[in-house]
A and B are shown apart, each in its own frame.
Chain A
């Protein structure tokens, strides 16, 4: 049963609320246990369009998760918005119709299969746990069971970190991941005023600008916040 395995995983991890890399180390452990090159965990509030990375098994894992974030599309984002497992055993085959931008970028990074698990308790979604593999093929029953135990363990860590905090507060480990994209949220607010549009549209404008300039969403956002770029009411760049 995934609970006892999840607890065993946590026991091996020997993390604590004082540590600020519990989720990172869990991702590393999972990558090793399942022999996959990349494992990443991201959290998101109600607006799953802009998740925040809180754990990655390697810089490569961080990069691929970021590709989804920048493109605004991908298996992990879909797993969150649909609240379902998204299992892509052959990205080259199944990816293109669904996530054009993400697929080409991910294939370029050597990723050939992706398995995304929403992190949820009942109806409440908190984020997503994603495995990236460098070869095509599904997860064996055994590996799926083990993956589910890691998903369970991740949830337990996230909830444990939250325990005892005042309302509105985030544990430092989570907060640092969320702060990393603070610029995107700030820029979204700024653009909504500049272009006289709602928040969702403002984010779309930022994404479109990033795509047009072939740069990361974070970069465009940073330019907006530092006042190097402005947006017009008609939606174009000044």
Chain B
């Protein structure tokens, strides 16, 4: 097994999920946080990043599996990354039944940690039996949250009943916080790009339309108002955007019928 920089893990750290793993090993935390900083660039592979994140949870917290859900624009949680395929089905069930630690965590913005099997069966009667059938015994969840905004949650599954230590919970929350900031930054950057494109487009359009009015006014001896009306009717009749018609006028390719009267 290799870290992404090509070096091998020292044997003393053991395989993933092992209780002997030193979860606070400097390299793994630094690497995780450095990876999270990548979200600040716009050309950024969200899915790849999320997959890395859930794998980090498995490695660093010693859980069996982890899954990540993010809310879409309508606030509906979507399963975006799972550390293994078997877990996928289980998490999808969580979404379907609308029950489970992830759902609770997302709704309340609180961590759902160390819930006993008995309580889990009571809290999530439609979901928990499948958890057990899937070979897991405990489930936890951490919210992806920044102040008042909760953008998703992380599911953590264990095959045993070992509680998560306070240290593990803190680490988990730290990872979640960094991920949330990164994801929100990325979302903001994307939104800014989209709005910038729209603003630039609208500014261009306005110039083109005014220039086209001038061309038509001169060519057909029209008032600016009549020229604008000619552009508008042509756009309407051809189901085209006003700025597109303006561009055609400037290129000389539009056949604008001179209005009568």
Which chain A residues have a beta carbon within 8 Å of chain B's beta carbons? 43-47, 50, 52, 120-122, 124-126, 155, 158-159, 162-163, 165, 167-170, 174-175, 178, 182, 185-194, 199, 225
Contact = CB atoms under 8 A, between A and B. Distances in A.
Contacts of A125: 200
- DSSP majority for the B interface? helix
A167 B198 contact: yes
Given A193-B219, A225-B224, A124 B207 contact: no
A53 to B, nearest CB: 13
A188 B200 CA distance: 20
Nearest to B243: A168
Instruction: Give the 4 A-B CB pairs with smallest separation, nearest first.
Output: A189-B214, A185-B210, A45-B203, A45-B204
A189 B197 contact: no
Given A170-B199, A186-B214, 14 more contacts: A47-B207, A121-B192, A126-B203, A159-B199, A165-B202, A168-B201, A168-B202, A175-B206, A185-B211, A186-B217, A190-B218, A193-B215, A193-B219, A225-B224
B213 A169 contact: no
Contacts of A122: 42, 193, 196
Nearest to A124: B196
B241 interface: yes
B250 interface: yes
A195 B109 CA distance: 67
A193 B218 contact: yes
Contacts of A182: 210
Nearest to B201: A167
A186 B203 contact: no
Contacts of B179: none
8 contacts: A122-B193, A162-B199, A167-B198, A169-B202, A186-B210, A186-B217, A186-B224, A189-B210
